[in-house]
């Protein structure tokens, strides 16, 4: 856990969140500022800054849950997008690895 990390505080329950899924390694919560009708964040319980610092097995584990969470939130059939913003140029504002799962509408591309 990192002292001043907002996602660590959410994981510890110090900041409230709408949890979509939880297990021993990760949680999935609704994004507080959704970019689409469904916008879920998958967070590892163990603090790690981003995909360049994360254990590859942990990333693979989180990705293995995407299909199930997409089904649970009703976006699996029509399609969705997963995004891992990384570093300042990548638009990462919270320095705790997270996977955005976004769907529920036709999404634009490119994102910039």
Catalytic residue list: 98
Among residues 20, 31, 47, 81, which is the contact residue for ligand AMP, using CB under 6 A? 31
Say whether residue 32 binds ligand AMP (CB under 6 A).
yes
Question: C-beta of 112: minimal distance to ligand AMP in Å?
Answer: 13
* Candidates 19-27, 58-66, 84-92, 103-111; binding stretch for ligand AMP (CB under 6 A): 84-92
- The β-bridge partners of 101 are 40, 82
Judged by beta carbon, residue 42 or residue 77, the one nearer ligand AMP is 42
* Assigned token pair, 104: 């529920």
Alpha carbon distance 32, 35 (integer Å): 9
Q: Which residue has the tokens 């879920």?
A: 40
Question: Contact at 8 Å (CB) between 43 and 31?
Answer: no
């Amino acid at each position: 856990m990192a002292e001043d990390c907002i996602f660590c505080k959410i994981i510890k329950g110090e900041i409230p969140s709408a949890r979509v899924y939880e297990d021993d390694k990760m949680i999935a919560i609704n994004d507080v500022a959704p970019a689409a009708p469904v916008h879920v964040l998958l967070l590892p319980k163990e603090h790690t800054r981003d995909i360049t610092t994360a254990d590859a097995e942990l990333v693979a584990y989180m990705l293995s849950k995407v299909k199930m969470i997409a089904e649970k939130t009703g976006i699996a059939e029509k399609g969705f997008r997963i995004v891992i913003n990384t570093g300042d140029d990548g638009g990462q504002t919270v320095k705790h690895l997270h996977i955005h799962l976004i769907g529920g509408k036709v999404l634009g591309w490119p994102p910039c």
